[in-house]
């Protein structure tokens, strides 16, 4: 399957150009969904893309309910932003606890092929390398110079990339992306805004988002030009006390509707623009389950993470291969009657160095001696005592041959 | 892990000692104060619950002048005309001013006794904001706070502990003077470490850790079984046999020149273009990786 190459400095292998239909906007890093034709972007985690039906539809919100120590939800947010950098989308990051610049510094490094897009210094290295690497492979030496990853396409043509968590993204790649930020302590609020329905931080964030969308031309109402791009919005830990919201602090919050109003406004903004948002909420602190339910309904996609760290499940041998459980709370049905939910409900995730895998959790077969079977052994044991000719000992109760 | 925490909170650290009515955490708080004084730091104490003498009892000699006690015990809500320190002064500007004017060049540790008191009179969001700003501000090096877990709603307690880098939960131990500490520590890289220890506090407020109960996930050690042992045939190689194996000329092994000529094949050779789709979520952990061919 040939595809157009857009790598810089790479000789084009084929002159075949895919004939794009004029109706679909072709933006780098997106593809139309096979189910309902929506434009999809990758979340950065390929297994999560598969669960959400191929990817995240442009104009929707993904809600991630954080795990207890906010390690894995933060990781998924970083994957999402890193995917945006690799696909040359624009980024908007809002956070209350950490500076958005710090979040950007921690993005994982993409596993790119050995194509010298950003590092021209790599090419002279290739010629000197064969001298020492010829001894490296004794039998399979023909494969030495081939890149380790099978695909030889330039990375921005692919949908969904892999990242190496142990390394951070190089500054050159990171700075190539356009980045907007919103850091709550930089927007001081006036004291005692008790009369408003939303804490000032939420309304300031909405205003900032609207302004960025309008200024940078992500509005769908703006005239269609050839070069459209997607805005990726990452909102970290919305609803926590640092946003000025008492949703997590009180059992009956005073402004319980502030976050829901904000999400309503956010979704309206997204539906009319070429953007996609990932919101993380510390749901383990929210005591009101009904409120959590309405927050879930207001977002399109919703998943919840539960990490095993610190809970009694950590030592459970069933869960030893995984880092936590993942629950898919909601999948949207956009322009269709019903959506395709994942077949299996028991999903577990594991953060490996080069991949965040989400797998189906299955119980191993129970081979222990105490497995409950029809206790014929007890009956025969009682009979054996009476007849005194059986060799039934107390340990072999369950084995009857 | 308790001794590490006592010996030096890293800069920007926020330790919460959670106690309950069954077991008081004030002794551990005093141990933290003592440890900070040992490190030649200035300690600022916001005392809401006990008065100055009781808190300073046990601090030895010369270190006393490095303890700055801000008296919020006598008049915390400002009912008289000249309150020493009120709960309304718990905000960034006042606290920074307070810390800067008394400790000149030393790193300062802020000890809050107790955070529960402040949470009852100020909104939790304001308190969280102040604590967060204090941590990032740089006026204080570390913050240690006492929190009474049974005084607050779960959400409030959870929100405040979410901000902390380390949370020590104290429960009564088996003997009278022993207590069990469950410690959760979050490092900057996002790693979470947990531990459970039994400890004892002496007269001079030094902490002795008796034993460690945790961490719960102790890895079971499995002995490596040598697969080539106990067989009726010999699978091992002696040295001469290994040398002979390496000397063996393999088929299709070419000389270096021929190899380089073949490797740098000219343009126009076939290339395989493959785009992995969702079914090829490839796994680096190849089970055949350990075949030593």
Boundaries of domain holding A99: 30-111+151-360
Please report whether residue B120 resides in a domain: yes
Please report whether residue A23 resides in a domain: no
Please report whether residue A368 resides in a domain: no
pLDDT score of B99 more than 60? yes
Please report whether residue A162 resides in a domain: yes
User: Which span out of A137-146, A272-281, B71-80, B260-269 was modeled with the highest average pLDDT?
Assistant: A272-281
d(Cα B82, Cα A68) in Å, to the nearest integer?
44
Please report whether residue B245 resides in a domain: no
Model pLDDT, residue A238: 92
Model pLDDT, residue B291: 63
Name the closest residue on chain B to residue A191, using Cα atoms: B126
Burial label for A25, CB within 10 Å (0-12, 13-18, 19+), is middle
Name the closest residue on chain B to residue A103, using Cα atoms: B189
Model pLDDT, residue A14: 56
Please report whether residue B62 resides in a domain: yes
Q: What is the pTM of this model?
A: 0.75
Please report whether residue A350 resides in a domain: yes
ipTM of the complex: 0.72
d(Cα B190, Cα A351) in Å, to the nearest integer?
13
Please report whether residue A187 resides in a domain: yes
Contact A339, A328 (CB under 8 A): no
Residue A126 in 3-state DSSP?
A: helix
Boundaries of domain holding B70: 11-167
Number of domains in chain A: 1
Please answer yes or no on whether A244 and B125 come within 8 Å at the CB atom.
Answer: yes
Contact A322, A361 (CB under 8 A): yes
Chain B CB contacts of A158 under 8 Å are 275-276
Kindly give the confidence (pLDDT) of every residue in chain A, 401 residues in length, as a single tens digit, with 9 standing for 90 and above.
443 444 343 444 555 655 555 555 678 888 888 877 788 999 999 889 988 888 999 999 999 999 998 999 999 999 999 999 998 899 999 999 989 999 999 999 988 764 433 333 333 334 434 444 445 666 777 777 766 554 333 344 578 888 988 888 888 888 888 999 999 988 877 655 555 556 789 999 999 999 999 998 888 877 766 678 899 999 999 999 999 888 888 888 887 888 999 999 999 999 999 999 999 999 999 988 899 999 999 999 999 999 988 777 777 778 888 899 999 999 988 888 888 777 778 899 999 888 898 988 877 777 666 655 544 444 444 444 444 444 444 444 556 66
* B146 vs A401, higher pLDDT: B146
Best mutation target, B90, B125, B184, B266, to test chain A (most A CBs within 10 A): B125
Please answer yes or no on whether A352 and B284 come within 8 Å at the CB atom.
Answer: yes
Please report whether residue B132 resides in a domain: yes
Chain A CB contacts of B125 under 8 Å are 241-242, 244-246, 249
Contact B114, B147 (CB under 8 A): yes
Domain of residue A353, CATH code? 3.40.50.300
User: Which span out of A71-75, B2-6, B241-245 was modeled with the highest average pLDDT?
Assistant: A71-75
Model pLDDT, residue A217: 86
Domain of residue B63, CATH code? 3.40.50.300
Residue-wise pLDDT tens digits, B44-68: 888 888 888 888 887 776 777 788 8
Please report whether residue A119 resides in a domain: no
Please answer yes or no on whether B192 and A309 come within 8 Å at the CB atom.
Answer: yes
Number of domains in chain B: 1
Please answer yes or no on whether A285 and B125 come within 8 Å at the CB atom.
Answer: no
Model pLDDT, residue A378: 45
A120 - beta bridge partners? none
Provide the shortest C-alpha distance from residue B288 to chain A (in Å).
Answer: 15
DSSP state letter for A273: B
Please answer yes or no on whether A1 and B271 come within 8 Å at the CB atom.
Answer: no
Provide the shortest C-alpha distance from residue B17 to chain A (in Å).
Answer: 17
Please report whether residue B117 resides in a domain: yes
Residue A40 CA to chain centroid, in angstroms?
A: 14
Chain A CB contacts of B153 under 8 Å are 249-251, 287
Q: Which of B259, B276, B281 sits opposite A150 (nearest CB)?
A: B276
Q: Which of B125, B132, B273 sits opposite A97 (nearest CB)?
A: B132
pLDDT band at B260 (very low <50, low <70, confident <90, very high): low
Please report whether residue B101 resides in a domain: yes
Please report whether residue B155 resides in a domain: yes
CB-based contacts of A400, cutoff 8 Å, min separation 6: A376, A377, A380
Give the pairing type, strands A301-307 and A179-183: unpaired
Please report whether residue B265 resides in a domain: no
């Amino acid at each position: 399957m040939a595809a157009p190459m857009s790598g810089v400095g790479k000789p084009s292998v084929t002159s075949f150009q895919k004939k794009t239909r004029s109706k679909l906007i072709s933006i780098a890093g997106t593809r139309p969904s096979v189910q309902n034709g929506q434009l999809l972007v990758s979340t950065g985690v390929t297994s999560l893309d598969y669960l959400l039906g191929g990817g995240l539809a442009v104009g929707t919100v993904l809600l991630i309910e954080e795990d207890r120590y906010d390690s894995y939800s933060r990781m998924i947010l970083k994957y999402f932003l890193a995917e945006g950098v690799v696909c040359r989308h624009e980024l908007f990051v809002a956070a209350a606890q950490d500076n958005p610049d710090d979040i950007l510094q921690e993005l994982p490094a993409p596993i790119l092929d050995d194509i010298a897009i950003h590092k021209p210094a790599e090419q002279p290295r290739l010629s000197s390398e064969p001298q020492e690497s010829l001894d490296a492979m004794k039998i399979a030496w023909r494969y030495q110079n081939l890149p380790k990853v099978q695909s030889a396409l330039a990375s921005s043509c692919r949908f969904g990339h892999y990242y190496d968590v142990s390394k951070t993204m190089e500054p050159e790649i990171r700075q190539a992306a356009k980045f907007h930020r919103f850091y709550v302590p930089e927007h001081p609020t006036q004291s005692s805004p008790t009369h408003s329905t939303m804490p000032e931080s939420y309304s300031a964030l909405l205003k900032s988002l609207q302004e960025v969308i309008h200024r940078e031309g992500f509005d769908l109402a703006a005239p269609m030009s050839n070069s459209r791009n997607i805005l990726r919005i990452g909102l970290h830990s919305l609803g926590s006390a640092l946003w000025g919201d008492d949703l997590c602090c009180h059992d009956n919050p005073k402004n319980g509707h502030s976050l829901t109003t904000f999400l309503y406004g956010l979704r309206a903004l997204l539906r009319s623009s070429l953007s996609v948002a990932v919101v993380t909420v510390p749901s383990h602190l929210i005591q009101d389950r009904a409120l959590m339910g309405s927050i879930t309904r207001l977002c399109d996609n919703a998943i919840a993470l539960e990490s095993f760290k610190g809970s009694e499940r950590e030592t459970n041998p069933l869960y030893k291969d995984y880092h936590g459980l993942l629950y898919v709370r909601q999948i949207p049905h956009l322009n269709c009657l019903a959506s395709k939910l994942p077949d299996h409900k028991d999903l577990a995730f594991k953060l490996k160095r080069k991949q965040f895998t989400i797998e189906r959790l299955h119980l191993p077969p129970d081979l222990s001696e105490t497995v409950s079977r029809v206790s014929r052994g007890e009956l025969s044991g009682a009979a054996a005592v009476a007849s005194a000719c059986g060799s039934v000992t107390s340990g072999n109760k369950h084995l009857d041959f | 892990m308790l001794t590490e925490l006592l010996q030096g909170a890293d800069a920007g650290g926020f330790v919460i000692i959670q106690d309950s009515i069954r077991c008081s955490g004030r002794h551990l708080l005093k141990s933290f104060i003592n440890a900070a004084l040992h490190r030649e730091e200035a300690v600022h104490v916001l005392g809401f619950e006990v008065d100055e003498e009781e808190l300073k009892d046990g601090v030895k000699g010369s270190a006393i002048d490095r303890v700055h006690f801000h008296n919020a015990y006598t008049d915390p809500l400002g009912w008289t005309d000249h309150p020493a320190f009120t709960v309304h002064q718990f905000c960034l500007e006042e606290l920074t001013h307070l810390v800067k004017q008394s400790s000149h060049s030393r790193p300062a540790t802020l000890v809050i006794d107790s955070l529960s008191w402040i949470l009852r009179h100020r909104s939790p969001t304001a308190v969280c904001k102040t604590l967060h700003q204090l941590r990032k501000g740089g006026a204080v090096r570390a913050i240690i706070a006492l929190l009474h877990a049974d005084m607050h709603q779960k959400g409030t307690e959870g929100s405040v502990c979410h901000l902390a880098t380390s949370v020590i939960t104290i429960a009564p131990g088996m003997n009278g003077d022993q207590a069990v500490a469950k410690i959760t520590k979050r490092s900057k890289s996002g790693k979470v470490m947990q531990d459970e220890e039994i400890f004892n506090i002496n007269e001079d407020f030094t902490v002795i850790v008796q034993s460690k109960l945790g961490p719960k996930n102790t890895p079971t050690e499995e002995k490596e079984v040598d697969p080539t042992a106990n067989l009726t045939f010999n699978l091992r190689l002696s040295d001469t046999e290994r040398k002979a194996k390496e000397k063996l000329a393999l088929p299709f092994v070419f000389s270096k020149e021929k190899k380089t000529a073949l490797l740098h094949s000219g343009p126009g050779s076939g290339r395989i273009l493959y785009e992995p789709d969702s079914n090829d979520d490839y796994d680096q952990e190849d089970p055949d990786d350990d075949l030593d061919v």
